[in-house]
Amino acid sequence: MNRLIRGVFVKGIYPLLYLAARGIGVKRDRLQRMLINTSNRLVRFEHKKPARRILLLLPHCLQRNECNIRVTSNVFNCARCGKCEIKNLIDLAEEFKLDLFVATGGTLARRIVVETRPEAIIAVACERDLSSGISDTYPLSILGILNERPFGPCFNTRVDISRVREALLFFTGNGTDNGGKPGP
Ligand code: SF4
């Protein structure tokens, strides 16, 4: 039932709201954030059983720009120098035994989801990619975490590792709640 409510919102109400709100000049990012936050809340409400197969999907822009290691083919190629958060995310993936992938775009992300067949997804990305990912992967449970962009979009972006950890604790059944933090 709860999953159905999420579907009605993500696939029905949100697209209509989006069109109406864009028509009166509401910014796209704001609407996409509303979808991400609402979907995250609904997922938290409906997801009761611990997930065994969790996929953590990262955007390529998290990788330090000057790093030449190819992490898109295999994120474990990373030399773990610690100059970007890919290292911390690999540590988390090993601790929680997750599938971890870096996707260069929506098409690759969709292919990774089909191939890994996760029970739950934690996705880090910008508003645009997260909102389309949430819609595309329904009815899968997905928690979206917005990346931070101190240098502008798509360049040396960052993510709050504590939020990723908290989402993992939630999906593995070891979390309480997110301590009142906004999303994921
Ligand atoms: S942690 Fe270091 S080696 Fe790994 S992707 Fe980031 S910059 Fe490259």
Cβ-based neighbour number of residue 178 at 10 Å: 18
Calculate what percentage of the chain has a pLDDT beyond 70.
95
Which atom of ligand 1 is nearest to 78's Cα?
4
Residue 113: its pLDDT value, please? Answer: 96
Residue 180 scores a pLDDT above 70? no
Please say whether the beta carbons of 44 and 14 come within 8 A: no
Indicate the pTM of the whole model.
0.93
pLDDT band of residue 19 (cuts 50, 70, 90) is: very high
Q: Looking at ligand 1, which atom is closest to the CA of residue 82?
A: 1
Mutational test site, ligand 1, from 87, 90, 94, 100, max ligand atoms within 8 Å of CB? 87
Q: Which residues line ligand 1 (CB under 6 A)?
A: 63-64, 67, 69, 71, 78-84, 86-87
Q: Where in the chain does DSSP place strands (E)?
A: 54-59, 99-103, 120-125, 141-146
What's the DSSP call for residue 156? S
- How far is residue 24 from each of residues 10, 18, 174, measured CA to CA in Å? 21, 10, 43
Distance from C-alpha of 178 to C-alpha of 122, rounded to nearest angstrom: 15
Q: Are 93 and 114 in contact (CB under 8 A)?
A: no
